[in-house]
């Protein structure tokens, strides 16, 4: 089955898109995606393949998830997402354990944003969330991004507390990719309860990085945006 999915990935490869993705995902020397190789598949194409090969065994997923080709890694992660959706509680724990054990391969924001909330976030909905706070304090950029993105599932269920606490931890983060992720999650809170978002902003907007703040207030009217941007 592993051979089949690799063949299907290769059939859908698009050299022109691959060149665009190489630039978009910052794969140059010293950039966050340095060394990543792209073959030019779209995310919808990879979702369809992941559904087709949802019965891949963990050892096959392991080989795919550790591949240097970005689309191989993302497709493997999407297989885990679809496995998780069908799984019972025991199987979900096995999937989460596998995901965490192989976290080093989730080394790009595109590999996190489609996956972290759907696996780790969903699993932790009614469980101890200590691991997210540990990740929020991590020196590893991708673990910090996983910490905040995983809370998207909580937000969708109108549970905002952990997102706000982790956002506070990440206020002083130096990386633009964290500023964008935190701002995005705060904006998602605002879509559901603007009063909760504004309470947080009134307390912290003056110390928030500009990008984080701009993302958070994107849906506000012009007057409110001006108010919060006036530090």
pLDDT in tens, 40-78: 999 999 999 999 999 999 999 999 999 999 999 999 999
Give residue 195's domain range: 129-231
Instruction: Answer whether residue 124 is part of any domain.
Output: no
155 and 219, same domain (yes or no): yes
Q: Which of 87, 114, 141 is the last residue of a domain?
A: 114
| Reported confidence tier of residue 23, pLDDT bands at 50, 70, 90 | confident
97 and 153, same domain (yes or no): no
217 and 183, same domain (yes or no): yes
Give one DSSP letter per residue of 89-124, joined into a string. Answer: HHHHHHHHHHHHHTGGG--SHHHHHTTHIIIIIHHH
Q: What percent of the chain has pLDDT over 70?
A: 100
Q: Encode pLDDT of 125-176 as tens digits.
A: 999 999 999 999 999 999 999 999 999 999 999 999 999 999 999 999 999 9
133 and 110, same domain (yes or no): no
State the Cα angle at 153 between 147 and 157, rounded to 5°.
135
Q: Which of 86, 114, 142 is the last residue of a domain?
A: 114
Q: What is the CATH number of the domain that holds 187?
A: 1.25.10.90
Terminal alpha carbon distance of the chain:
57
């Amino acid at each position: 089955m592993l051979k089949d999915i690799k063949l299907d990935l290769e059939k859908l490869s698009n050299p022109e898109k691959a060149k665009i993705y190489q630039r978009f995902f910052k794969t140059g020397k010293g950039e966050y995606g340095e060394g990543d190789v792209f073959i030019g598949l779209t995310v919808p194409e990879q979702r369809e393949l992941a559904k087709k090969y949802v019965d891949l065994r963990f050892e096959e997923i392991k080989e795919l998830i550790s591949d240097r080709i970005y689309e191989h890694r993302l497709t493997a992660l999407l297989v885990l997402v679809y496995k998780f959706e069908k799984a019972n509680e025991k199987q979900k724990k096995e999937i989460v354990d596998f995901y965490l054990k192989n976290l080093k391969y989730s080394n790009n924001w595109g590999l996190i944003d489609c996956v972290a909330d759907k696996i780790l976030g969903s699993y932790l909905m009614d469980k101890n969330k200590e691991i997210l706070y540990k990740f929020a304090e991590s020196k590893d950029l991708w673990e910090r991004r996983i910490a905040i993105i995983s809370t998207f599932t909580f937000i969708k269920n109108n549970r905002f507390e952990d997102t706000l606490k982790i956002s506070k931890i990440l206020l002083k983060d130096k990386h633009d990719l964290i500023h964008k992720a935190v701002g995005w999650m705060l904006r998602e809170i605002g879509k559901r309860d603007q009063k909760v978002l504004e309470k947080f902003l009134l307390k912290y907007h003056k110390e928030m990085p500009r990008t984080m703040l701009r993302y958070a207030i994107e849906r506000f009217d012009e007057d409110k945006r001006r108010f919060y941007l006036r530090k």
